[in-house]
């Protein structure tokens, strides 16, 4: 305990120098936080899609996927098993288009929201950043009187707690009881959510399966629901399915382990046929390669700057701690005369670095929490997660280790007698 008291005293005697070291570390950790967040946000989106298709499979953007077999009426798939029959040898996880019109506050919406329904696995794979409310989850399946939905930020002012109503069936017949769609969450402007982006640009990587909406530029808001929740409520209210829910947009097909070459060839032929209106498709291997290339390319642009900054600060910490030790060496000799072991002086130097760098770490983490929690600087790339904390903690450990090398060397190469008899 007495060593810690001496350590605090020495820090207070060199407060400006210590504040300078602390400030350097805070700046570096902020850079580490941004760099780590850039990586994790993109990798999270990539990981979400890979979790839906596994090691081998296909991701496609298609609409009007016709069911297998003889199909004179061109019936469109509305269930995963129908897609699996068409693409034999796969397990399908789907997104859907819901053919529904809504009223809000007793009036029919002039611009009808575009409604996408998710299989439960899709909603669980990726949770977008919400400006209010909560994301879709399986708890919605426990209630069968209302459909829970998340909407994009919109010009109508539709917010959490509001309800939209579906009053007509697909054939425009009046429903006996309107279907209530209750808003439980709102996606903020510019936030990504899992879907298929309709654009002339094709990247062939993770960017192709996420959409962004901004209320200022998007007249038609996007409504997201769980397909199972919608069908449960519709069946409870109407007693039968009367609103079109069809496979549409991003579809995730994972290959069965025992898939045959014949099945693989049939899948390729099916993609070329008129069984679906295919915008594009990509196999999991190509998707993985392209997505990782995109993610690392983002890091390559900033990584040299981060590495250079870290090296510069670590070198500065080494020389600064050496200067501090030089200025404190006579104090250490006096402590020795008062009964302190010479080796204890080395411990004091280690404690100094632990206090300086530890305080810098706490300040940075507290600032990160407040920034993310209260969005002090608006929407930023910053995230608070294990990766961010681990990156900063690793830097602190390295900084402490390298910054005690020179002080220990200076102290161990001298004796108290030499220090006290030195005229310099």
Query: For tokens 């020495």, what's the residue?
Result: 10
Query: pTM for this structure?
Result: 0.78
What separation in angstroms does the CA of 88 have from each of 58, 62, 270, 333?
Answer: 13, 17, 10, 82
- Using alpha carbons only, give the angle 280, 286, 287 rounded to the nearest 5 degrees: 70
Distance CA(372)–CA(379), nearest Å, equals 9
Q: Is 320 strand, coil or helix?
A: helix
Where residue 380 falls (left for φ over 0; alpha for ψ -120 to 50; beta otherwise) is beta
Domain end, chosen from 258, 291, 324, is at 291
Highest mean pLDDT among 176-180, 240-244, 382-386: 176-180
**237 and 386 assigned to the same domain:** no
Distance CA(260)–CA(263), nearest Å, equals 5
**329 and 392 assigned to the same domain:** yes
pLDDT of residue 85: 92
pLDDT tens digits along 16-67: 888 888 898 898 888 888 888 878 888 899 999 999 998 899 999 988 888 8
Domain end, chosen from 267, 291, 315, is at 291
**8 and 103 assigned to the same domain:** no
pLDDT of residue 241: 63
pLDDT of residue 407: 77
Distance CA(169)–CA(316), nearest Å, equals 71
**60 and 22 assigned to the same domain:** no
Distance CA(82)–CA(66), nearest Å, equals 9
**339 and 367 assigned to the same domain:** yes
**8 and 93 assigned to the same domain:** no
**175 and 185 assigned to the same domain:** yes
pLDDT tens digits along 318-360: 787 788 788 888 887 787 777 788 777 778 878 888 898 899 9
**151 and 171 assigned to the same domain:** yes
Q: What share of the chain is helix, strand, coil (3-state, %, to 5)?
A: 50, 20, 30
pLDDT tens digits along 109-127: 877 888 999 999 999 999 9
**40 and 121 assigned to the same domain:** no
Question: 102 has which bridge partners?
Answer: none
**352 and 415 assigned to the same domain:** yes
Range of the domain at 216: 56-291
**156 and 270 assigned to the same domain:** yes
Number of independent structural domains in the chain = 2
pLDDT of residue 47: 94
Asked if residues 54 and 389 have their Cβ atoms less than 8 Å apart, the reply is no
**173 and 213 assigned to the same domain:** yes
Give the Cβ contact number of residue 16 at 10 Å: 6
Domain end, chosen from 291, 313, 338, is at 291
pLDDT tens digits along 305-318: 778 877 887 788 77
């Amino acid at each position: 305990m007495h060593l810690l008291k001496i350590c605090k005293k020495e820090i207070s005697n060199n407060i400006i120098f210590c504040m300078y070291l602390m400030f350097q570390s805070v700046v570096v950790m902020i850079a580490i936080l941004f760099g780590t967040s850039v990586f994790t946000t993109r990798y999270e989106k990539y990981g979400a899609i890979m979790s839906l298709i596994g090691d081998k499979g296909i991701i496609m953007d298609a609409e009007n996927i016709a069911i297998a077999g003889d199909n004179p009426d061109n019936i469109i798939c509305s269930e995963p098993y129908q897609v699996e029959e068409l693409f034999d040898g796969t397990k399908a996880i789907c997104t859907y288009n819901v053919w529904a019109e809504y009223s809000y506050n007793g009036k029919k919406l002039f611009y009808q929201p575009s409604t996408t329904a998710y299989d439960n696995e899709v909603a669980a794979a990726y949770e977008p950043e919400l400006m209010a409310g909560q994301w879709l989850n399986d708890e919605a399946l426990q209630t069968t009187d209302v459909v829970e939905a998340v909407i994009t930020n919109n010009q109508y002012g539709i917010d959490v707690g509001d309800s939209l109503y579906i009053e007509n069936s697909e054939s425009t017949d009046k429903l006996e009881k309107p279907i209530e769609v209750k808003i439980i969450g709102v996606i903020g402007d510019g936030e990504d959510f899992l879907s298929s982006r309709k654009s002339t640009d094709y990247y062939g990587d993770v960017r192709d399966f996420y959409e962004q909406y901004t209320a200022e530029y998007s007249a038609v808001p996007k409504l997201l629901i769980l397909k199972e929740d919608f069908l449960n409520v519709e069946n409870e209210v109407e007693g039968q399915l009367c609103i079109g829910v069809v496979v549409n947009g991003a579809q995730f097909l994972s290959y069965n382990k025992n898939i045959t070459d014949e099945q693989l060839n049939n899948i390729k032929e099916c993609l070329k046929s008129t069984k679906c209106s295919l915008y594009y498709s990509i196999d999991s291997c190509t998707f993985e390669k392209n997505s990782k290339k995109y993610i690392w390319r983002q890091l390559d642009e900033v990584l040299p700057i981060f590495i250079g900054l870290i090296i510069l600060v670590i070198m500065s910490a080494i020389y600064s701690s050496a200067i501090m030790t030089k200025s404190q060496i006579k104090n250490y000799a006096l402590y020795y005369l008062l009964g302190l072991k010479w080796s204890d002086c080395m411990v004091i130097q280690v404690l100094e670095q632990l206090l300086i760098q530890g305080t810098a770490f706490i300040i940075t983490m507290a600032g990160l929490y407040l920034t993310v929690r209260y969005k002090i600087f608006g929407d930023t790339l910053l995230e608070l997660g294990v990766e961010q904390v681990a990156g900063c903690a690793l830097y602190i450990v390295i900084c402490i280790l390298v910054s005690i090398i020179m002080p220990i060397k200076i102290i161990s190469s001298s004796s108290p007698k030499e220090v006290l008899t030195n005229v310099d």
